[in-house]
Amino acid sequence: METKNLKLTGKLFLIVGPSGVGKGTVIALLKGKHPEFEYPISVTTRDPRPGEKDGVVYHFVTRKKFEEMIKDKDLLEYAIVHNKEYYGTLKKPIIKALEKGKIVIREVDMQGCESILKVFPKENLVSIFLTVPNKQDLIDRILKRGKLPEEEIKRRMQSAEKEFAKGGRICDYQVPSLTGKVNECVKDVERIINGESPSGKAPPSGGGTGGSNPSSPTN
Ligand code: 5GP
């Protein structure tokens, strides 16, 4: 990505981790506590789930439209996730927000994280890997979302294996996302944002309870 002529003063925080680890929940809670951050939408070819609205987390598009967006270089990165559907990060809203000095939060899968790490200015990027102590926790959480075909669970677990292998190695921070402790996980993420925020000031917090261990930088 050409960034020479851009004055990026904000920071992009990537929330990474396998399906079921709680990325969506953590980001939804951050959104409630920190409306001052930017939460850009991504594009995907997957169908919306019941209750999911276009334009909140994703813009739902056809394969044809997605491939046009690739050709038009609208995407910062894109990937086929769980060997199935396209997901892609929109370039424009992120660049615009970073030019304004904003803190930008976006979840991506590990492939997306690796692609962004390769092309994005390091000083404007922080990657946070959410992790769980055991696989069964992930399966339970994925199952809780609603009935998924056996094949789909298998596919998600295969992606998870790959993500665990890489996450700790390539991401800047690892944060435990323990079952029933989502507020602690959010607090850990807030602490990282606080420490990494360009102004060096703590972002205002909307409260929350419970202490947790400090998150660990992985490098
Ligand atoms: P879901 O379909 O459950 O919302 O997301 C499936 C996976 O796609 C999750 O691991 C999520 O992090 C990932 N994902 C969501 N948005 C993007 C994106 O813009 N780019 C990439 N590479 N992955 C994404």
Q: How confident is the model over 68-122, as pLDDT tens digits?
A: 999 999 999 999 987 789 999 999 999 999 999 999 999 999 999 999 999 999 9
Dihedral over Cα of 81, 3, 41, 101: its sign: positive
Is pLDDT of 126 > 80?
yes
Average pLDDT rounded to a whole number, residues 46-70: 96
Q: Is the CB of 89 under 6 A from ligand 1?
A: yes
The 8-class DSSP code of residue 22 comes to: S
Whose structure tokens read 């309870």?
Answer: 209
All structural domains of the chain: 11-39+104-217 (3.40.50.300)
- Among the listed residues 151, 105, 150, 149, the one whose alpha carbon sits nearest the alpha carbon of residue 130: 105
Percent of the chain whose pLDDT exceeds 90: 63
- The confidence score (pLDDT) of residue 211 equals 33
Any ligand 1 atom below 6 A from CB of 172 = no
* Closest ligand 1 atom to 78 CA: 22
Cβ neighbour number for residue 86 with a 10 Å cutoff: 20
The whole-number pLDDT of residue 91 equals 96
Using the structure block, give the residue that is written with the tokens 């993420």.
189
For the CA atoms of 203, 204, 205, 206, the dihedral, rounded to the nearest 10 degrees, stands at -150
pLDDT for position 198: 62
* Segment 178-196, tens digit of pLDDT: 988 999 999 999 999 999 9
Tell whether the model's pLDDT for residue 203 goes beyond 80.
no
**Alpha-carbon gap, residue 91 to 80, rounded angstroms:** 17
Say how many Å lie between the CA of residue 24 and the centre of ligand 1. 10
